[in-house]
Amino acid sequence: MDSGTLRRSREFWLEEGDVVLKAESTLFRVTRGILVYHSPVLLQMILQGSPDAASETVISGCRVIKVDDSAVDWRHFLKAIHDPSYYDPSRETSFATIAGILRLSTKYQVQTLQKTAVEHLQRIFPTTIDEWDRRADSDTIQKFKGRTIAIINLAQETNHQILLPSAMAYSWAIGLDGLLDGLPSYDGSHVELDWDTKRKCIRARDKLMQAVRGRLLNFILGKGAGRCVTKAKCDEGRLLSLRIWEKFFEESVIPTPFRFMVNWTDLSTRLCEHCIADGMNNFLTARWLLWDELPSYFDLPSWDVLRRREEDD
């Protein structure tokens, strides 16, 4: 090992450290105890050692273990396991922080950190329609143009498929050019989906558009409530509303399928109370059913299967 090309971490070169981790060209001197306490994988790496002890690299009296991860990821990961207050999902969090923590907590099986990071990302891309409607209130992850793409890539890289259905549905909001060409990431680099994921998102985009038109708006195309006493007025109101919504679809001003909502107060000026009540019930039921089917639009297993897999990991 050419020590001239290596540098010590300023934050993690602990005098009491008894093992050195080498990530890229950065050296982290830490204590074995805290690593093995959190990670069964790191425990095995430390116990196994080298088949030829004489060939092991030693720096400052400490055995060197090479890890095939980025130094930036290790910095965030080590800070999180040494200081529980470092990673707090209730505070604004950089994407580099949550990405590094999720990658390494998944790889090295640090269950508590992994669960916290996944649940943090689920605040943006949840598994239920109710959580989706509240998502903006709990979003503390750094925002940038390519964030949705970056989260899809991170979920695929770490095999946390539970994040994919709602994230891939939200890719509708970045537009076709963003889907095809990619967008800037948090650090100024370019982030892009792989071609298989692009195809799934684009195909699902058309199917979801048809579902919103045909199923969510089905109440406006029907005959109205059986109790309707102003049929002519309500039919005229439905036709006017349908023209307005069709214009939205034609101009692509609906950002995502689940952000399409009906202004019931406005609609109540055109429909009777019975048609409004029936329409609201039919709309919300169709919206819930569409959400339940969402994973299938992207060739993913059902929500129940995805939840079980996440719990088993």
**Domain parsing of the chain, residue ranges:** 3-68, 84-193, 208-295
Residue linked to tokens 């934050």: 11
| Termini Cα distance of the chain | 36
Where would I find the H helices in 212-230?
218-221
- Where the chain has pLDDT below 50, the residues are 51-52
Does the global pTM surpass 0.85? Answer: yes
What does the chain come to in residues?
313
What are the CA-CA distances from residue 279 to residues 200, 208, 212, 233, 267 (Å)?
32, 20, 14, 15, 10
CB atoms within 10 A of CB 155: 20
The pLDDT of residue 51 is 47
Structural element, H or E, at residue 272:
none
The pLDDT of residue 24 is 96
The pLDDT of residue 223 is 60
DSSP-derived letter for residue 141 is B
Structure tokens belonging to residue 152:
């899809």
The pLDDT of residue 222 is 62
Q: What is 159-199 written as a DSSP string?
A: T-GGGHHHHHHHGGGGHHHHHHH-EE-TTS-EE---HHHHH
The pLDDT of residue 183 is 98
